[in-house]
Amino acid sequence: MAIYDYKVLDRKGNEVSMADFKGKVLLIVNTATGCGFTPQYKGLEELYQKYHDKGLEILDFPCDQFGHQAPGNDEEIHEFCQLKYKTSFDNFKKIEVNGANESPLYTFLKSQKSFAGFTGCKGLFMRLFACLMDKNYKKNSNIKWNFTKFLVDREGNVVERFESTVEPEKIADKIEKLL
């Protein structure tokens, strides 16, 4: 299967075909509104403003699997993002990214790009934290925390995975190359 074979739900529960995004560069992110990484919404919005007209789409999938840091319903999450971070990209329906109820889209994404490693100043903390949750965390493709990002090219190829510790602005050059 290819990424364009999947369907997802928008925040109102309407089915959206990933094929609707053919020809676009995609940044697919599992997010949370009450996480230490939540301020990354600001950087995501900056990327969206800078590159949307050139073909970038940000697909925001709220996920409550990590410390229950995405409370509220889909509309409340959307309002929070718009009010607090002035986001103009849309949020999709809240999903699970690991386990028996994980979104098939995320099953696909993880099959394409496995865990990429924690970096930056928060990297050490996240390595220790992840090891407490799963001693073999480095050896599986599970999403480790909120704000894991997948970059998809215009042909639907998953080209890179960025873990939570990678700030959105650090991805700008990679997006530019794909645009």
E strands, 6-157, where? 7-9, 15-17, 25-31, 56-62, 149-152
> Both tokens of residue 43?
């950087």
| Catalytic positions | 35
Q: How many residues does the chain have?
A: 179
What is the spatial distance between Cα 76 and Cα 35, in angstroms, rounded to a whole number? 16
Place of tokens 């073999």: 136
- 167 vs 124: CA distance, rounded Å: 15
